[in-house]
Amino acid sequence: MSRAHRPTARPARPDVSVPRVWYASYGSNMNMERFRYYLTGGRPPGAARGCPGCRDPRPPERSVPVLLPGALYFATLSPTWTGGRAFHDPEAEGVLWGRAHLVTAGQFSDVAAQEMYRPPGTDLDLTEVLTTGRAALGPGRYETLVCPGYLDDVPVLTFTAPWRAREVEVTKPSGPYLRHLAAGLLETGAWNADTVARYLAAAPGAAGHWTAGEIAALIPS
């Protein structure tokens, strides 16, 4: 099996003009088939709307499994998935499982824009998040940037909501959404189906609504 990577600490004086970043996904973009639509454009199967795609549609140079400090939880209501969305609470106890895609800084900016239903095309200023580890671009659900560290001297970046998990009502995720998350985690080769099912079933929002066995049954054999 593949080994999941833990980011190393941010340098004291980071270079803020980085050409590449690791985009750490912990939601449906862990699934490469799904992530492809954010890069090249098009309407994913089952989606209510299409993705405009990135200015640079090339696939990631690499994709690796990662372990980030914090916790996964499900909240708000996705009209696409008809259930809770995945969020990362970087200050919570625990470990978040994800998949980091090595992309250009411009691609990361365009993916972040699409997550907030905004047109891609504007590069994000990464100075604050690379310097302090966190930057609020706005009040939206995926407008808070987080840098948990570096892999191979390249910054790891993700985005999440501005609130803590304990500050919001959690929401049960749908079966199709959990299937996509499970598929993405399994594609990394770092975890098996039973382990992935237990991980997802323990996350707030899923816990008490989904058992590990029920989630395992969603995963194609």
Has residue 1 been placed in a domain?
A: no
Q: Is 197 part of a structural domain of the chain?
A: yes
User: What was the pLDDT predicted at 117?
Assistant: 85
Long-range contact pairs involving 126-135 (C-beta distance under 8 Å, separation at least 24): 126/16, 126/18, 126/21, 126/155, 126/157, 127/16, 129/157, 130/10, 130/14, 130/15, 130/16, 130/18, 130/155, 131/14, 131/16, 133/10, 134/90
- Give residue 221's pLDDT: 75
Residue ranges in the chain modelled with pLDDT below 50: none
Determine the structural domain holding residue 209 and report its residue range. Answer: 20-214
Q: Tens of pLDDT along 45-57?
A: 877 788 999 999 9
What is the overall mean pLDDT for the chain? 96
Q: Please report the pLDDT score of residue 168 as a whole number.
A: 96
pLDDT of residue 116: 86
Phi-psi sector, 87: left (phi>0), alpha (psi -120 to 50), beta: beta
CATH number of the domain bearing residue 207: 3.10.490.10
pLDDT at residue 7, as a whole number: 98
For residue 80, the model assigns a pLDDT of 86
- Per-residue pLDDT of 165-216, as tens digits, reads 999 999 999 999 999 999 999 999 999 999 999 999 999 999 999 999 999 9
Q: Do the domain assignments include residue 220?
A: no
Residue 5 resides in a domain: no
User: Residue 123 falls within a domain, yes or no?
Assistant: yes
Distance in angstroms (rounded) separating the CA atoms of residues 116 and 51: 11
In a domain, 12, yes or no: no
Q: Total structural domains in the chain?
A: 1
- Domain membership of residue 9 (yes or no) is no
Longest CA–CA span in the chain (Å) reads 47
Is this model's pTM higher than 0.75 or not? yes
Contact between 210 and 197 under an 8 Å Cβ cutoff? The reply is: no
Residue whose C-alpha is closest to residue 51's, from 101, 111, 104: 111
Q: What is the pLDDT of residue 45?
A: 82
Which three-class secondary structure state does DSSP give residue 34? helix
Beta-carbon contacts of residue 178 (< 8 Å; ≥ 6 apart):
200, 206, 210, 215, 218
**Domain presence at residue 11:** no
